[in-house]
Structure 1
Amino acid sequence: MIRNPRTRRFLSVVLLILGGILMFFAPENIWIGAVLFALGLGLEIAGLVLGHRK
């Protein structure tokens, strides 16, 4: 796990932004859109968990 708080915070913000972009630009095709939306949601959750302080 990353121990440096500045690196964790930066990576958390990058994951949140990337997840939001993937969810926003998910196409209307149900299969591709659902996969991209799920991937974006997973990145959002990973970013939130990474940014959470102990």
Structure 2
Amino acid sequence: MRLLSRTQNVATKYKYEKFPYLPPMEKEIIEMLIDGLTQTEIAEEMEVSKASILFG
């Protein structure tokens, strides 16, 4: 959950392209948040293993 909160904070202020040092999974989440997806939709979009890491 901490990872998602951190990426949401970044996504609300900047587009992910300004943060090339972020890991690929964080970039993917930020891109989805910029597109307006909810946490549930992001979990559905991502593979189960990735979603379980993010959402517990």
Q: Name the TM-score, length of structure 2 as normaliser.
A: 0.31
Q: Which structure has more RCO (C-alpha within 8 Å, separation ≥ 6)?
A: 1
Q: Name the TM-score, length of structure 1 as normaliser.
A: 0.31
Q: Which has the larger radius of gyration?
A: 1
